[in-house]
Amino acid sequence: MTLTEAKREEARGRAIYRSLVWKGVVSIGELLVTSGREVMRLRLPKTSEGRYVRPERRYELPDYRPGMRYSHSSERYLRPTRYCNCRAPEVVALANELGAFRKPDLEFAEAAFAFAKEMTTLEIRPLLPVEETLRLGTGTCFELITVFIALCRAAGIRARYKIFSTNMIQSWREATIDADPLLKKWYDSLDNFLFEGEGEAYIDGRWVVAHVGPTAERQAAAGIPITRFGEDSLGVWFTAKPGTIMHLEAIPASLGLGSRLLHRISPASMERVNISVLQQIARGRKVLEEAGGLEAYDREARGEAFHRTSAKALSVD
C-alpha cells in the first residue's frame, strides 16, 4: 500500500463518516423531541432491576520492564492514535508476552486476535484509552478492536479500523439492542447511524480482518460459528449497509463523544445491555459444554452454508 493510496482511503472513510454522523445527529434530535418523556422514565434503573457487576478480568496483566521492544515508527497505521496508545506500558508488556518480534507477523497477529477476542469481555460504556481497557479486562467493541490494533502496532505490524453501518441477525440483536427498550427504539429509528467495527492487520501484502468483539461463549449462545483470524463478521451475523464501509487509522472523536452522550442520556441502557451480555455468556458456556467443547460445537456450527458465506467474507480488502 502506497502513502497516496492510504491517504485516499482515509479521506474517503472520513467523508462517509461525516455524512453518516450528520444524518444521525438530525435523527437523534428528532428522537429526543418525540421520546423525551420515555427517556426520562427509562434512563435510570428501577429498584426492581438487577444491577451490572463487572466480571473479573480473565488474565493477569504482565509487568512492564524497561528495555522491552516495541515499534517506534511514526508511519501511518503504526503510530499511536486516539484511544490507541500502542506504546503504553501495558500494551508493550502484553505484546512482548505474546511474542512480539519473536514470532512471524501472522503468528503474532493470531495471538493478538485470540487474546482480544477470548480474554476480554464486552461492556458498553463511554470509550476509554487502551491501557485502561487492559487494566479492566472489559470494553466496548471498539475498545476491544483497539486492543488488537494496539498490540499489532506495538509489534511493528500495521493495523487499522474497519467501520461500517450495520444490521445484525436476530439472535445477536436480542442479546444487545433488544435488551433495553430505549436502545431498541433508537436502533429502529436511527438507521445508518449505528456503527460496528473490526480490526485489520497488514500481513504479507494484504489486509487481514479480525473481528474480536464476541467471545466463543457469546457466539455459541447465538448459534453461530466461532470466528477465526481472517474471517469476517459480515455475511455471518452482521451486514454492512451499502456504501458505509470505512477504513480509518483512528477512532473518530465523535464516537467517543457519542458514547459519553448515550451514558449521560440513559445510563440504564448501558447497564441493561451489559447484564444481558453476561447472561448470554452464561448461556453460551452451557451450549459449549453440552456440545462437547468448543471444537465440537464449532464443527457442528460450520455447515456448508457457512463455508460458502465465509469464503466470500474472508477479508482481502
More confident residue, 80 or 5: 80
Q: Can you tell me whether residue 226 is helix, strand or coil?
A: coil
Domain locations in the chain as residue ranges: 3-35+67-313
The mean-pLDDT minimum among 77-81, 101-105, 306-310 falls in 306-310
Alpha helices in the chain (DSSP H): 3-42, 89-97, 105-118, 130-136, 141-154, 170-175, 181-190, 216-222, 253-265, 267-291, 294-301, 304-313
Strands 138-139 and 159-168: unpaired
Q: Which residue has the cell 450495520?
A: 166
Q: What is the DSSP letter of 281?
A: H
Across the range 212-220, mean pLDDT stands at: 94
- What are the Cα distances from residue 116, in Å, to 94, 134, 203, 295, 297? 11, 10, 18, 19, 21
Helix (H) or strand (E) holding 165: strand 159-168
Higher pLDDT, 244 or 5: 244
> Residue 210 has what pLDDT?
96
Highest mean pLDDT among 9-23, 38-52, 77-91, 249-263: 77-91
User: What cell does 77 get?
Assistant: 497505521
pLDDT reading at 63 higher than 70: yes
pLDDT of residue 314: 38
The model carries a pTM of: 0.88
In the prediction, which pLDDT does 313 show? 40
For 209-227, what is the mean pLDDT?
93
